[in-house]
Chains A and B, each alone.
Chain A
Amino acid sequence: MNKTWWKILGSVLVIYTAIAGLLLGVPRLPILNESIRNLYFHVPMWFAMIVLFSISVFYSIKSLSSKSEIDDMKAVESVNAGIIFGLLGLVTGAIWAKYTWGQFWSFDPKQNFAAISVLLYFAYLILRNAIDEEQKRAKISAIYNIFAFPMMVVLLFVLPRLKDSLHPGNGGNPGFNSYDLDSRMRMVFYPACLGWILIGYWVYTIRFRLRLLENKQQTN
């Protein structure tokens, strides 16, 4: 039980937010209206992605000093799981934008920067494919991963503040800060973030175990 409690917690939280997020009351804000509910499904994706990419950087640093294959596998699988959440974040954002801005993709700075940061991790995966030798691949891709991480932080957290965006919370558009007054949304939003981070971590552990098994099969 002590190993599965967080998986149950994650599932319960995500089921709860799916139901409560669609049924509970939300404040009426201009422009956003009912589409404000997307906050529960779109924003947690980015939180899960950031957590997974941070795990990946952690294991990349570890694999540079330990030179262990396990650490390298952990790094690449957390990137794989993080990319899933990055793509889901882009898709949920695009669907929301279709109904609020009128277009799936309107080249808003936030959309562009998010897409570029996902691109960064695709480049990481391509770099891995380009190298055949396992130890060399582990070392070089770990270096690129660590080198790229600060750039992703700049891309996602610093640059959007310098640019005008239509994204909620930017440039006088109603956004996260105005919800702070409304505790109804917090009741769903915080559990949603925690739930999706746990689910993301779960996805990563499953992927890691799968790869470990594949690896064992190949060496035997």
Chain B
Amino acid sequence: MQLAKEVKYLIHKEVLLEWRSKYTINGILLYVVSTIFTCYLSFVSLNEEERLTWNALFWIIMLFASINGVSKSFLQETKGQQLYSYMLASPAAVLISKTVYNTLLMLVLTTVALGFYTMVFNDYTPPDLLLYYVAVIMGSISFSTVFTMVSAIASKAGNGGMLMAILSFPIIIPVLILLIKLAKNAVDGLPWENSYDEIGMLLLVNVLTVATSLLLFPYLWRD
């Protein structure tokens, strides 16, 4: 139960820090909104048949927004801050709290982004919005589990930003393919039975990622 207490405390700390500065959430929100607006201006002549482009565009925007948002979690912390939290809590608690916090952040972000996206690209709203939202939720969870661990690796390696992109893209592509397929099912208005495969696979990939991260993180944080 010590772990649960530590995790709860650390999440509280993360949320409090974010609430005081509101830097990450506002920054990423502005980033998403301006990107969507730019996309709207350049894709304004999208045909009615191009729902596929609509879907792909959304995931590309989400991918870059989440890479920016989640990579902050470890890269932003100074060495002293990291040392302090490692003295107070177990490595598992640090990793779980970061992952949960990032998931919350991504959920807020993607929900707002989806709302704004459907508002701007009004004609393309998928017929099965609920399934699309499920895909978005799965996306937020997968992005945060993968990127949290990769950003921990990148932050330990030194030069963060570029390494983060190189290391995370090959890992996230399989997840992204599944997400785009699931979202496409929603855009095509297929019945839910057709999507159980993808949802199951995504859950499996997430469990796998979290399990390997938990096993490996204790080796990573010790210097």
Interface residues of A (CB under 8 A from B): 64, 113, 116-117, 119-120, 123, 126-127, 130-131, 136, 139-140, 143-144, 146-148, 150-151, 154-155, 158-159, 162-163
Closest to A126 in B: B166
B179 at the interface (CB under 8 A from A): no
Q: Which of A116, A117, A143 contacts B153 (CB 8 A)?
A: A143
With A116-B173, A159-B178, A162-B181 already in contact, the answer to whether A143 and B163 are too (CB < 8 A) is no
Pick from B22-30, B73-81, B208-216 the stretch touching chain A.
B208-216
Query: Which of chain B's residues have a CB closer than 8 A to the CB of A148?
Result: 170-171
Q: Which of A117, A130, A150, A158 contacts B163 (CB 8 A)?
A: A130
Is A140 a contact of B220 with CB atoms below 8 Å?
yes
With A154-B205, A159-B178, A162-B197 already in contact, the answer to whether A143 and B220 are too (CB < 8 A) is yes
B51 at the interface (CB under 8 A from A): no
Closest to B168 in A: A123
Is B158 a contact of A130 with CB atoms below 8 Å?
yes
B149 at the interface (CB under 8 A from A): yes
In the complex the two chains form, what is the Cα distance from A154 to B202 in whole Å? 11
The 6 tightest CB contacts between A and B, nearest first, are A120-B170, A119-B170, A143-B216, A155-B174, A151-B171, A150-B208
A–B Cβ pairs within 8 angstroms, 12 of them: A120-B170, A126-B163, A130-B157, A139-B220, A140-B156, A140-B157, A143-B153, A144-B167, A150-B208, A151-B170, A151-B174, A154-B205
In the complex the two chains form, what is the Cα distance from A150 to B174 in whole Å? 11
Q: Is the interface of A mostly helix, strand, loop or mixed?
A: helix
Query: Which of chain A's residues have a CB closer than 8 A to the CB of B174?
Result: 113, 116, 151, 154-155, 159
From 122 to 173 in chain B, residues with beta carbon under 8 angstroms from any chain A beta carbon are 149-150, 153, 156-159, 163, 166-167, 169-171, 173
Is B177 a contact of A140 with CB atoms below 8 Å?
no
Query: Which of chain A's residues have a CB closer than 8 A to the CB of B163?
Result: 126-127, 130
B219 at the interface (CB under 8 A from A): yes
Interface residues of B (CB under 8 A from A): 149-150, 153, 156-159, 163, 166-167, 169-171, 173-174, 177-178, 181, 197-198, 201, 205, 208-209, 212-213, 216, 219-220, 223
In the complex the two chains form, what is the Cα distance from A127 to B159 in whole Å? 10
Q: Is the interface of B mostly helix, strand, loop or mixed?
A: helix
Is B198 a contact of A162 with CB atoms below 8 Å?
yes
Closest to B198 in A: A162
Closest to A113 in B: B174
Closest to A118 in B: B170
Closest to B219 in A: A64
Is A123 a contact of B201 with CB atoms below 8 Å?
no
Is B153 a contact of A123 with CB atoms below 8 Å?
no
Is A147 a contact of B157 with CB atoms below 8 Å?
no
Is B158 a contact of A147 with CB atoms below 8 Å?
no
Is A159 a contact of B158 with CB atoms below 8 Å?
no
Query: Which of chain A's residues have a CB closer than 8 A to the CB of B159?
Result: 130
Query: Which of chain A's residues have a CB closer than 8 A to the CB of B167?
Result: 123, 127, 144
Query: Which of chain B's residues have a CB closer than 8 A to the CB of A126?
Result: 163, 166
In the complex the two chains form, what is the Cα distance from A131 to B156 in whole Å? 9
Is A123 a contact of B170 with CB atoms below 8 Å?
yes
Is B158 a contact of A144 with CB atoms below 8 Å?
no
In the complex the two chains form, what is the Cα distance from A131 to B201 in whole Å? 34
In the complex the two chains form, what is the Cα distance from A64 to B197 in whole Å? 35
Query: Which of chain A's residues have a CB closer than 8 A to the CB of B169?
Result: 119, 123
Q: Which of A64, A151, A162 has the most CB of B within 10 A?
A: A151
Query: Which of chain A's residues have a CB closer than 8 A to the CB of B150?
Result: 147
Is B153 a contact of A147 with CB atoms below 8 Å?
yes
Q: Which of A131, A143, A150 has the most CB of B within 10 A?
A: A143
